[in-house]
Structure 1
Amino acid sequence: MQYAAYVFDAYGTLFDVHAAVRRHADQIGPEGQLLSEIWRAKQLEYSWVRTLMGAYADFWQLTEQALDFALRKVPSADPGLKTKLLEAYWRLDCYPEVPAVLKGLKASGARLAILSNGSQEMLQAAVKSAALDQVLDDIYSVDTVRRFKTDPAVYDMVATGWRLYPGAVSFQSSNRWDIAGATKFGFRTVWINRSNQPEEYRDFPPALILPTLEALAPGG
């Protein structure tokens, strides 16, 4: 079934959040993957806690704070690499299938957008680096509502901005908690389960589970 709009989470769905650490793996050493996993986990934890507290700080600040924590938690990693790691986060690799899938959906007449916790500056940089700027119609950042996912106000930015009923929007995310929030809001949801995680939030199930975005391409 073709949807009027396809909306994508950015980090972990379009862009590989572990690419920044991988780019400097030789300098970080054997605990690079652990460092990257802690960095990502804390980045998300900080977003949830700040939304619950009503103490918003943009995602770039949280990304830097989370890296500070990860570097302290993994003392074998050189803290002098902080600047290089943060610079790499602005130019994360997109997953291999992403450009072709987005171009195919765009050619079919669908509207395309990113809906992300990332700041507008972070998202613009990542999109430009991956040469996706020509296929996206909009980039929605939580900066507008100053609350992070899974607050319903985040998902409502798309429905209100595009004047669409939620059910006309197909929302894709690699984060199961994000899929739960979008499902509750009313989007048709597709969980991109890239790392074969177990199912959870069973009362808010996705319409579809895929290992990558590839099957979303028209004819895929």
Structure 2
Amino acid sequence: MELSWGSFTGMKIKAIIFDVNETLLDMQKLEDEINAGLGNSLGFQIWFSKLLHYSLVENEIGSHHDFSKVAFATLKMAASYFGKEFSEKEIQSLLRLVKELPAYPEVGMVLKALKEDYHLIALTNGNQETAEAQLKYAKIDEYFNGIYSVDVVGKFKPHPSTYQKVLKDYKLKAHEAIMVAAHGWDIAGAQNAGLKTVFVARKGKSLYPLVNTADGLVKDLKGLMETL
């Protein structure tokens, strides 16, 4: 992937909205734990795909369980896929590390620098308690003006209402905010809501080819800081 920037010339960016998991936080510890539990090197990917899939199902059927409950249910489904049956206690044990994920090495430094000039907002599919615990554990919570769970609107990203809630609360026009994410589906959702977007090309992550590319493509958050 060629990493480049679209043009932000003449635009007044007031806020930067960050996805949390895999954008700011390194999920490798959790991936290793789930792969070991499921006995397969693709276990985490199978589970995480189901987690995102069924969050979208909830959007479509008008249901909304918080992300932790969907994570629990879909890990049980993933276990069945691999011919395993986990107890409730075993599933909780596998998922415990979600609140103990480190930030990627550059994240704290970049957020500290960006906070001087922009409102920084975290927007995650996770529930509020988990989101706050994650950012506190990673020692980056102090850099955010706001931490948002999608539970506040009862829809999961990439539903437009999730991004629009942040814009409304901060009295922002869509073009005054940048959504930063390592997920193609999140970039597509933010674009649909009118936001500028920056894709972080973390290992194994890619954009969705059937929508417009992100306004900016960076290898890590240092690319974001250097450009802004």
Q: What is the TM-score when the length of structure 2 is the normalising length?
A: 0.86
**Structure 1 residue 134 corresponds to structure 2 residue 142:** yes
Contact kept in structure 1, 2:121 and 2:147, CA below 8 Å: yes
**Structure 1 residue 204 corresponds to structure 2 residue 206:** no
Helix, strand or coil for the counterpart of 1:70?
helix
Amino acid aligned to 2:92: T
Amino acid aligned to 1:113: I
Helix, strand or coil for the counterpart of 1:146?
coil
Q: Which moved more, 1:208-217 or 1:139-148?
A: 208-217
Amino acid aligned to 1:84: S
Amino acid aligned to 1:142: V
**TM-fit CA distance, 1:12:** 1.6
Between the aligned residues of both structures, percent identity stands at 30
**Structure 1 residue 144 corresponds to structure 2 residue 152:** yes
**TM-fit CA distance, 1:76:** 6.9
Alpha-carbon distance between aligned partners in 1 of 2:85 and 2:109, rounded to the nearest angstrom: 36
1:172 to 169, 180, 183: 180
Alpha-carbon distance between aligned partners in 1 of 2:207 and 2:136, rounded to the nearest angstrom: 33
Change (3 A) 1:29 1:141: closer
Quote the residue 1:69 is aligned against: 77
Amino acid aligned to 1:105: L
Contact kept in structure 1, 2:72 and 2:92, CA below 8 Å: no
1:121-148 deviations in Å (ceiling 9; x for gaps) = 1101101100111111101111111011
Amino acid aligned to 1:171: M
Quote the residue 1:40 is aligned against: 48
Alpha-carbon distance between aligned partners in 2 of 1:218 and 1:75, rounded to the nearest angstrom: 48
**What 5-or-longer segments of structure 2 have no aligned partner?**
1-7
Amino acid aligned to 1:92: L
Contact kept in structure 2, 1:38 and 1:70, CA below 8 Å: yes
Question: Mapping of 1:74-153 within 5 angstroms?
Answer: 74-75=82-83, 81-107=90-116, 109-153=117-161
1:3 to 4, 13, 23: 13
Alpha-carbon distance between aligned partners in 2 of 1:24 and 1:61, rounded to the nearest angstrom: 16
Taking only aligned residues, the RMSD between alpha carbons, in angstroms, comes to 2.3
**TM-fit CA distance, 1:81:** 4.3
1:103-161 deviations in Å (ceiling 9; x for gaps) = 11113x21101111111011011011001111111011111110111211111011101
Runs of 4+ in 1 over 4 A off after TM superposition: 76-81, 196-199
